[in-house]
Structure 1
Amino acid sequence: MAVKHALRAVGFALLAVAAIGVLAYPRPSDRKYPDRKPVRFWHMWSGEWKEVIDKIATQFNESQTEYELIALSVPSGASTKCLLGVAGGDPPDVMAQWEAVIPTWAEKGVIQPLDDLLTPEEKARFDELAYPAVKRIGTFNGKLYALTPTMNLSAVYVNVKQLKEIGVDPYKEFPKTLEDLINLGKRLDRFDKDKTLIRQGFNLGNWNNLAPLFGGGFYDFQKNELTLDRPENVRALETLVAERKRVGFDNIVRFNSGFGPDSGGQWSFLSGKISMVVDGQWRVQQIGKFMPDFEYVIYPIPPPKGGKALAGSTNGNQMIVPSGAKEPKGAIAFIKYWAGLNDPETAADFLNWGGWLPMTSNVAESKKFQAYLTKYPQFRTFVDLMPSENFQPAPPITSQMFVGDTINRVQDLALRGTLTPQQAVESLKAGVAEEVARRKELGYD
């Protein structure tokens, strides 16, 4: 009955379209190891990322003789198709998921807890070695529903040449507070004769990542409750709005509209259009591949005065086992293999291929991962952030996706000047409260 509730939430029209997609979607027919137990793995990567996933699948298949992992890229509508598979009794055995569905799926029985699939020794090892954010992402109501073998964090990328042009050597000095960093960014801004922005000194990032630095955030993981209207959240949004007003909303929109694709060497930071920018660790490998001689350094985002250091938002690629999976033992075997729970050296290879952060400290300390850090020393900034308790994933509630969407919506309204930061926070709290009440009334929660 719970799964039916989850499916009803998707919407009948979407289900109809998705059902056609599932029936028409090609199934892998060529089995390299037909005598082994098949383990169907769905993921949402495509393009060059799919090639990385295929390599991981191949290596898993070559590492043992019991299972054949069959990887299938489902880049469109994967979550809806998985729901249909569970309802129809034919889900994938394992799925890589980065959408905000884990709490809802866990509560409705769409996915199964991993606690019973791990041995007591493996669970104890995870509890001991997993970074704080990893535990928060995969846990719901005290049970572990996902392992996150690949994590993502943000920090400040700094164009060394452009800072030196204004007399600042970022190897020797860098702002210790967010206020000083914003002021440094102002010195790096460039405008043409018509006062049109042609280079942005510092891109602050988004509200979700900034709020924890002010000592706020949208969820209290100690008390297990939403904290949407904390004064620190208001201050964080006020900071973003003040910067937008200073440069001008239309000015920023025109500036951003001039960007091309952010892949390869076309990323706005690499093209010199932004001097300092908050972005993720995967950019390190991108720079090394496409512009290896580009001179840059990376620093943690400094907190504002009175704020909290080594803080921000975080996310990752969550590995889950759907309810009704035909090979749950094969699924957890693959998840453990990728995550490096029992073999950190092998997991380090996968992280190096994808430019990801590790789930556990033993993988970070492995010889192969340390060799990667020698090759890409800037990556170490992100690794050093992983032990911090101050990085917050999305709130672990069944309205997780709605909360995230509403945060983005009211942030945009505040940046446009339609709402004040205080009004935006009040709108966020009221909107989420209404959605929570609606879900309870309909029997979803």
Structure 2
Amino acid sequence: MVRKSIIFFLFIFFLCQITGCDREVSPNIVKISYWEKWTGFEGEAMQAVVDLFNSREIKNKGGKIIQVDMITVSQLDRRLLTATAGGNPPDVAGIWTWLLTIYADKGALLDLNGYLEESGITKEHYLPVFWEICKYKDKIWGLPSTPASVALHWNKRLFREAGLDPNVPPRTIQQLDLMAEKLTRIKLPNQEGTISFYELRKKENYQALLAEAKIVQMGFLPSEPGWWPWSWGYWFGGKLWNGKETVTADEFENVKAYGWVKSYSMKYGVDNIKKFSSSFGVFASPQNAFLSSKVAMVSQGVWMYNFIDKYATGMDWGAAPFPSDEGKLKDVSYIEADVLTIPKGAKHPDEAFQFISFVNTQEAMELLCDGQRKFTPLREVSEDFYRNHKNPYIRMFRKLAESSNAFITPKMVIWQEYQREMSFAYEKIRDLKSQPKDALKEVKRAMQRRLDRELAISRRLEEAK
């Protein structure tokens, strides 16, 4: 009987931790629950902000002190939707931006327009791209916490060994391809040492030699790390839709981009690349393809510094904007952000917004972004923030977020399906099982049909109001 009581107590305790039970433990305190996906140093950085907020004893309109209880939740996207549907969500949820559009469309979030107007927080407080990230159908559904931009990272030691200037990254896709050839090392059978692909390709029978050879180092791979296979068209001037009602997956610039992806498989061999890639360890480890010096150049986010510092201490590296096709576009970058939202049905929405607005003050935001080694999404930044920042390229990452060529995840309710279809197309193109034009045309056909259906449903719902 005692054992059953203990099990029951533990079950109830765990349920309260996960479901965001009302935790008002004092008549003078309002406790709000905050679900977050971060762990490790990222979670610690946000906990420092939570602790700072709690130490200030900020009061709500009724004079009660607001206290925030942050809970790390795995599979947050699924659990949040379940909790919201069940009428017992947390007061604050830290989500990814791709979820914001989907949840807002499902009616799972509160729009913040009224709170923003009352508090005086406007788009002028932020870099434009981060205000845009939080907007859907002319309403703001969250505010940013930590932002990110993506750039080229390169191994300076490998540049030197290949006879390249370690301080001069490629400025065009074409320069990147040539540098990659010089940085790629091939082990030929029955021969000592290695030869660069650049030298190997000068031999008349290089394709036959390559078929018997082994890749031991690559200059660049479009599939490493493989997190955004849908995005390559943007560096060629392409887009995935017109922002309203038309899918543009097969437009000329996108076809050219995935033709470039295909060129790596044609050049180095599908099987050779797969065998080489099979030697990579997991991302957050010393066996990471870039951190272990197996791949000399990689497209990665501002967060990469943290992993270099942890797993490749002493690595001589650089970061710069990823080059565009023929250098026609400057400072192209994929921009992301974590977003703080108030789920529909939250018990303390007013207090939740007070916490979110506190996070978006310069003091709290710089504390958070310094702790996570990222830049701040706010327009105003102190010089101390830059002076004390550990990432030597932090100003460059911030500049990318200010670029007119910065792009974000398309705000489409069908984005999860679209992203999945683009990944399938990418794999077929990479494996030489489909031509870029054919694969992308199929994506457009399928996704245009899905988008038309969703837009028709949306119109009917609007008419019914």
Change (3 A) 1:254 1:97: same
Checking the alignment, whether the CA contact within 8 Å between 1:208 and 1:313 is kept in structure 2 is no
Q: Aligned to 1:371, which of 380, 387, 392?
A: 387
1:101: how far off? 2.7
Superposition CA RMSD, Å? 2.7
Match of 2:54, as an amino acid? N
Change (3 A) 1:351 1:33: farther
Match runs of 1:170-185 below 5 Å: 170-171=166-167, 173-185=168-180
- Residue 42 of structure 1 corresponds to 35
Cα distance between partner residues in 1 of 2:418 and 2:22? 42
Match of 1:67, as an amino acid? I
Cα distance between partner residues in 2 of 1:337 and 1:429? 43
Checking the alignment, whether the CA contact within 8 Å between 1:43 and 1:74 is kept in structure 2 is yes
- Residue 148 of structure 1 corresponds to 144
Residue-by-residue CA offset, 1:17-60 (whole Å, 9 max, x unaligned): xxx9x959656789797442111111222344333333332222
Structure 1 range deviating more: 260-269 or 27-36: 27-36
Structure 2 residue 69 is the aligned partner of structure 1 residue 70: yes
1:293 alignment partner, SS class: coil
- Residue 192 of structure 1 corresponds to 187
- Residue 253 of structure 2 corresponds to 232
Which consecutive residues of structure 2, in runs of 5 or more, have no partner in the other structure? 1-11, 59-64, 189-211
Residue-by-residue CA offset, 1:339-386 (whole Å, 9 max, x unaligned): 33xxx1331111111122321221xx213421234x431232211211
Checking the alignment, whether the CA contact within 8 Å between 1:310 and 1:390 is kept in structure 2 is yes
Change (3 A) 1:420 1:431: same
- Residue 12 of structure 1 corresponds to none
Match of 1:175, as an amino acid? P
Structure 2 residue 360 is the aligned partner of structure 1 residue 339: yes
Cα distance between partner residues in 2 of 1:219 and 1:122? 33
- Residue 232 of structure 2 corresponds to 210
Cα distance between partner residues in 2 of 1:227 and 1:28? 42
Match of 2:177, as an amino acid? I
Match runs of 1:13-412 below 5 Å: 26=18, 34=26, 35-65=28-58, 66-76=65-75, 78-98=76-96, 100-119=98-117, 122-124=120-122, 127-171=123-167, 173-193=168-188, 194-204=212-222, 206-221=228-243, 226-305=247-326, 307-340=328-361, 344-362=362-380, 365-373=381-389, 375-412=390-427
Structure 1 range deviating more: 206-215 or 89-98: 206-215
2:176 alignment partner, SS class: helix
Checking the alignment, whether the CA contact within 8 Å between 1:214 and 1:306 is kept in structure 2 is no
Residue-by-residue CA offset, 1:109-162 (whole Å, 9 max, x unaligned): 2111111112356333xx113223212221111111121221121111111111
1:435: how far off? 2.2
Cα distance between partner residues in 2 of 1:121 and 1:30? 26
Checking the alignment, whether the CA contact within 8 Å between 1:150 and 1:359 is kept in structure 2 is yes
1:72 alignment partner, SS class: strand
Give the aligned length. Answer: 414
1:179: how far off? 0.5
Checking the alignment, whether the CA contact within 8 Å between 1:213 and 1:309 is kept in structure 2 is no
1:229: how far off? 2.4
1:107: how far off? 2.4
Q: TM-score, normalised by structure 1?
A: 0.85
1:306: how far off? 6.3
2:116 alignment partner, SS class: coil
Change (3 A) 1:120 1:233: farther
- Residue 205 of structure 2 corresponds to none
Match of 2:260, as an amino acid? T
Q: TM-score, normalised by structure 2?
A: 0.82
1:162 alignment partner, SS class: helix
Checking the alignment, whether the CA contact within 8 Å between 1:146 and 1:319 is kept in structure 2 is yes
